[in-house]
Amino acid sequence: MLFRSRRTLLNLAIAIFTIVLSLSLRSPNFATDLLTADVQALVKMGARVTGSPAAERASEFLVNEYRKAGYQVEIQPFSYPKFADVGSDLTVNGTAIRVWAMVRSRSGHPSGKLVIVPNYGTSEDFQTVNVKGAIALVRRGGGLTFAQKIDHAAAAGAIGIVIVNNQPDNVRGMLMQPSPIPAAAISGKDGAPLLAQPTEAQATLNVQSRPNAVGRNIIAHLPNVRQPKLIIGGHFDSVENSPGANDNASGTAVILALARQFAQSTEAQQIWFINFDGEEDGLKGSEAFVEQLDSAVLKSLKGMINFDMVGVNDRLLIDGSGALSAVATQSTREEVRSSRFGRSDHASFQAKAVPTLFFFRGKDPNYHSPSDKSVDPRLLKETQQAASKIISQLLK
């Protein structure tokens, strides 16, 4: 009995020893695993389009990760014109059909008769029917723009307009001016039976649109760091229909890794880590940031380092500007010049005469596509290592 339990104890000890040994042998990989986990966590959220629920989840994730690493976090909201259809439909005789709001359509939910306008909706066409207080149903085409049809409908007293596409699918109509009445398009397939209705139906057009997007930059620093010498940043938003693994969960993960790496060091007393939103809509987040930054802080900055698309392609490229140019390696600079790569957030800092470094890895076959789903963790690690050397050098 005693012998058996001793053996059990010994086996247990051997098992524990084996686990500890294998963990310690693998410990150099722990950081890489964290980089991969961060990219995967972000990719799983879906396309992080500025203003979308996925982008909000991403910003919450970032806030948490920085706090865990001991940083204070500020969320900087900013707003810019960006039309969004937040769910529009046309209900006919009690059945809701999906419609697409025209870009710049006003919101609203008018109810009335659904009046079929003959031909293509010229002023004359509108004179042959009574659309006063009604929703006009008009065919696309006939040499008239969407805006002209909308104007004719509004002038004739319509309270809403639905344009039937001339293809089976739907179309995102674009207006140059806000519409006087709610305006939407319906697919050719869904519109055909409506155009064929013998009697006027009762309808409600529900157009829900938003003229602006709100983005949020995530700014992390140790307590009391008010005048950073260095900004380490990159965007975390992505384009519609792309999970943005390389563009730019890769850069986001490297920034988090650098923040964790420097958390206890003197370097972090001089750094702000920033994840920018709204980049894919034209560098909106970094523009808002430099505009709102105290001019004394802007002037005292040694530089800004941007990471964008650092998880694909073996060769690390570093582009430099101003006083940081010398830091960018000679060999990489040539390639950067010959390829007209990537406008990204460092441009907003360059525009304010802040020296910049841009870490990237060039063309990605999955750029802005649904297949931008994974990156090479080794490349993230290498980017972090190359960057941390330069950072320590700069802040010495």
CA 190, CA 187: separation in Å to the nearest integer? 5
> Exactly one of 114, 309, 324, 336 binds ligand BES (CB under 6 A); which one?
309
Contact of residue 343 among ligand BES, Zn ion, none (CB under 5-8 Å per partner type):
ligand BES
Q: Per CB under 6 A, which region of 94-102, 116-124, 142-150, 280-288 contacts ligand BES?
A: 280-288
- Pick from 261, 230, 216, 250: which is nearest to 75 by CA? 216
Contact of residue 370 among ligand BES, Zn ion, none (CB under 5-8 Å per partner type):
none
Residues 308-327, interacting with Zn ion (CB under 5 A): 308
Give me the 226-265 binding string for ligand BES, x by CB under 6 A, dash otherwise: ---------------------xx-----------------
Find the angle CA(325)-CA(327)-CA(329) to the nearest 5 degrees: 95
126 binds ligand BES (CB under 6 A): no
279 binds ligand BES (CB under 6 A): yes
CA 318, CA 173: separation in Å to the nearest integer? 41
Residues 18-37, interacting with Zn ion (CB under 5 A): none
Residues 246-265, interacting with Zn ion (CB under 5 A): 247-248
Residue count, binding to ligand BES (CB under 6 A) = 14
- Pick from 87, 93, 126, 125: which is nearest to 109 by CA? 87
* CB 65 within 8 Å of CB 273: no
187 binds Zn ion (CB under 5 A): no
If the CB atoms of residues 171 and 254 are measured against ligand BES, the closer one turns out to be 254
Q: Per CB under 6 A, which region of 73-81, 151-159, 257-265, 335-343 contacts ligand BES?
A: 335-343
> Exactly one of 65, 125, 287, 308 binds ligand BES (CB under 6 A); which one?
308
If the CB atoms of residues 183 and 357 are measured against Zn ion, the closer one turns out to be 357
If the CB atoms of residues 105 and 344 are measured against ligand BES, the closer one turns out to be 344
If the CB atoms of residues 185 and 258 are measured against Zn ion, the closer one turns out to be 258
Least distance from ligand BES to the Cβ atom of residue 248, Å = 6
Using CB under 6 A, list all residues that contact ligand BES: 247-248, 279-280, 282-283, 308-309, 341-344, 360, 362
Using CB under 5 A, list all residues that contact Zn ion: 247-248, 308
